[in-house]
């Protein structure tokens, strides 16, 4: 893995072999389960509609039961009527799924090694001047690396607000904290990038995927 400067030139090389991260058997099934769990747990479960007992209509019978020649009806909130209630409609509820820790680590292990084998992990020596957000500088760095048109996953320290504000408005960049990686967002990116100042955080995160 190479360390790049803000001009896009290689400064040094890093060896990730010291992570001692064993390659585990590739498991598409585990990845599929991980994405399914994430998408299900991200659902808000707030969709709802009113049943016949929740419609704000009068409970008066529209017409008498017999003698009119029309179909019998008991209330205007009947699901058969326009603006009536909904039969068996969705109601607010939350369904949470869980993924075993071992299976979660397996998925991260597979994703990391596939990304590493394709040489799509880079370290960036990037420090903002005056410690102020600068979107122009952030875009310039990605352009120097040739990543301005690629989907990039940028790992950041959760307390590095300055860098976060500089990159968050770039449409091709997905920001991830070192303490919240997930299979869905990791595979979103074609290229992983982390800052040189966060090298220890990156190694600590990856070491848990053994």
pLDDT tens column, 130-178: 778 889 999 999 999 888 889 999 999 989 899 999 999 999 999 999 9
pLDDT, residue 183, reads 92
Do 71 and 141 have their domain in common? no
Containing structural domain, residue 66: 44-94
Do 111 and 190 have their domain in common? yes
pLDDT, residue 10, reads 83
Do 151 and 86 have their domain in common? no
pLDDT, residue 15, reads 74
Do 29 and 70 have their domain in common? no
CATH of the domain at 23: 3.40.1370.10
Other beta carbons within 10 angstroms of residue 156's beta carbon come to 20
- Residues of the chain with pLDDT > 70, as a percent, come to 98
Whether residue 79 has pLDDT greater than 70: yes
pLDDT, residue 18, reads 67
pLDDT, residue 45, reads 87
What total number of domains does the chain contain?
2
Complete DSSP assignment for 90-141: -----------HHHHHHHHHHHHHHHHHTT-EEEE----GGG---HHHHHHH
Q: Considering 94, 128, 155, which residue would you say is the last residue of a domain?
A: 94
Do 76 and 126 have their domain in common? no
Tens-digit pLDDT profile for residues 86-144: 999 999 988 899 999 999 999 999 999 999 888 889 999 888 877 788 899 999 999 99
Do 37 and 57 have their domain in common? no
Q: Is the pTM of this model over 0.85?
A: no
Do 82 and 183 have their domain in common? no
Do 29 and 107 have their domain in common? yes
Query: How long a stretch of residues is the chain?
Result: 210
Do 128 and 71 have their domain in common? no
Contact 85, 55 (CB under 8 A): yes
Do 31 and 122 have their domain in common? yes
pLDDT, residue 72, reads 94
Q: Is the dihedral of CA 112, 180, 155, 15 positive or negative?
A: negative
């Amino acid at each position: 893995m190479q360390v790049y400067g803000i001009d896009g030139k290689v400064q040094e090389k890093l060896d990730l072999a010291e992570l001692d991260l064993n390659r585990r058997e590739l498991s598409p099934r585990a990845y599929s389960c991980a994405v399914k769990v994430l998408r299900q747990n991200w659902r808000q479960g707030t969709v709802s509609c009113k049943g016949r007992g929740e419609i704000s209509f009068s409970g008066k019978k529209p017409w008498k039961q017999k003698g009119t020649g029309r179909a019998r009806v008991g209330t205007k909130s009947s699901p058969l009527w326009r603006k009536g209630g909904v039969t068996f409609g969705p109601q607010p509820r939350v369904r949470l799924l869980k993924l075993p820790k071992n299976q979660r680590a397996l998925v991260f292990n597979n994703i990391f090694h596939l990304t590493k084998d394709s040489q799509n992990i880079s370290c960036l020596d990037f420090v903002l001047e005056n410690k102020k957000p600068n979107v122009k500088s952030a875009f310039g760095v990605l352009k120097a690396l040739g990543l301005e048109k690629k989907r990039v996953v940028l790992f950041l320290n959760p307390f590095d607000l300055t860098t976060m504000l500089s990159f968050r408005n770039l449409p091709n960049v997905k920001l991830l904290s070192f303490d919240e990686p997930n299979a869905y967002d990791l595979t979103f990116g074609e290229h992983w990038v982390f800052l040189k100042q966060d090298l220890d955080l990156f190694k600590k995160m990856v070491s848990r995927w053994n």
